[in-house]
Chain A
Amino acid sequence: AQTVTQSQPEMSVQEAETVTLSCTYDTSENNYYLFWYKQPPSRQMILVIRQEAYKQQNATENRFSVNFQKAAKSFSLKISDSQLGDTAMYFCAFSHNNNDMRFGAGTRLTVKP
């Protein structure tokens, strides 16, 4: 069974600084997808970034980038130039062949002015 672990329940960062959220996962599959979702106070789940396991290149989306280490089964999210609007819960997630998506417990990120 696949499991996703987020070891940081809460984190904070100063506005304009950089923060990294950790995520590790466990799977025996070789092809799969990894995601970071953001859930702001509105509770709408928003896709932040997506990584396909067969791609070695780390995904980037503007200020968001990942450090995907397949051998270590690690998938951290780096947020650069943090903005107040980045304050939210961040969930790391794993998916294989459109089966159910497994979520981590989440990291609550607070961006301080």
Chain B
Amino acid sequence: GAVVSQHPSWVICKSGTSVKIECRSLDFQATTMFWYRQFPKQSLMLMATSNEGSKATYEQGVEKDKFLINHASLTLSTLTVTSAHPEDSSFYICSASSGAGARNQGDTQYFGPGTRLTVL
């Protein structure tokens, strides 16, 4: 159980175009989904937290107009990188959690396999 999928696994796009990444919880309802960015040989950097039906909460320094997050259902969240530039090239990882404070793993985040974005 607790499987999270991410699509696509890798994408190459031209500078100035937009890219959408999907994150799905396959066998549980994800009250909260998280989006991270990871640079090579570094830890995960949280970009934003989204709750189903609400606007995402962005971390300081993350441009909300550039990284659009939609969490329309309890099983799907999307991250759209708008007007991508080469500096946006990175590994993007989503995670999903079933609920706050629940003793049955509610605080555990389950991660998708990641999406490698390359902007030319």
Contact = CB atoms under 8 A, between A and B. Distances in A.
Contact of B49 (A46, A52, A100): A100
B100 A97 contact: yes
Tell me if B's interface is mostly helix, strand, loop or mixed: loop
Nearest to A47: B108
Contacts of B32: 98
A47 B96 CA distance: 13
A57 to B, nearest CB: 15
A45 B95 contact: yes
B43 A104 contact: yes
A44 B46 contact: no
Contact of A95 (B31, B107, B110): B107
Contacts, number: 57
A103 B109 contact: no
Contacts of B38: 43
Interface residues on chain A, size class: 20 to 34
Contact of A105 (B43, B108, B113): B43
A91 B101 CA distance: 22
A44 B114 contact: yes
A105 B45 CA distance: 10
Interface residues of B, number: 27
Contacts of A47: 108, 110
A100 B11 CA distance: 27
Interface string B81-113: 000000000010101010111010111111101
Nearest to A44: B113
A96 B49 CA distance: 14
B44 interface: yes
Given A98-B32, A104-B43, A33 B108 contact: yes
B93 A45 contact: yes
B44 to A, nearest CB: 5
Interface of B: 31-32, 34, 38, 42-44, 46, 49, 59, 91, 93, 95, 97, 99-101, 103, 105-111, 113-114
Interface of A: 33, 35, 37, 42-47, 50, 52, 91, 95-101, 103-106
* Complex A-B, nearest 6 residue pairs according to Cβ-Cβ distance, in ascending order: A98-B100, A45-B111, A33-B107, A103-B43, A44-B113, A95-B107
